Amino acid sequence: MNEVATLAGGCYWCLEAFYQRVRGISEVVSGYTGGQLKNPTTEQVYAGGTGHAEAVEVTYDPSIISYKEILEIFFVMHDPTQLNRQGPDIGEHYRSAIFYHDAGQKVIAEDMISNFAPELYDKPIVTQLNPYIVLWPADEYMQNFYNNNPSSGYCLAVIDPKIQKLRQKFAEKLI
C-alpha cells in the first residue's frame, strides 16, 4: 500500500524533478500547503501573506523506498539552513518544512532534523515540522515543470546542477 510524504524545500520544481527520478515513487504533485487561505492561486502565494509554502506531495511504495530515505534525499538536495529561501528563490513560500501525515512520520522527521541534517551542515537547521492538513495543487502548467520545460533558463541554471548532484549522491535509488 502506498504512502504519502509532503515536503517543502524551496522551489517545488526542484523537489518534483528529484523525486520523479527516484525508484518507488509513483506520483509527485506540486502545490501549496501550510497557509491560511483555502485553495490559493499561484499569484496569491507569490504575492506573500498567505502563509503557504511551495511543496510536493510524494506518493511512494514503502516496500521500495522508506520515509527515512525520502527525507535523506530531501536534506541532501536542499539547504535546510536557509530561512525562507533556497538560492535565488526568496520568500516565506520557499521555506524548508516537513508536513507529517502521522505520528510515525513525525518521529522519523524529528530524528532526521535533530541527528541527520546537522551532520551535513555547519549552520543550524531551520526546517519546520508541521502536521499535514491539505496540499492545494498548483496550476496545471506548474506540474511536471522540469520534464515539460528542460531547456528553460531556470531548469538549466538551477535544476540541472541539482539533478547532477542527485545522480552523484543517490545513483542506487534512481530509476
Residue 51's region, left for phi above 0, alpha for psi from -120 to 50, else beta, is: left
Give the active site residues: 11
Count of CB atoms within 10 A of residue 67's CB?
21
Burial 116-148 (b: 16+ CB within 10 A, else e): bbbeeeeeebbbeebebeebbebeeebbbbbee
- CB distance 72 to 116 below 8 Å: yes
Count of CB atoms within 10 A of residue 22's CB?
20
Count of CB atoms within 10 A of residue 103's CB?
9
96-100 vs 3-9, strand pairing mode:
antiparallel
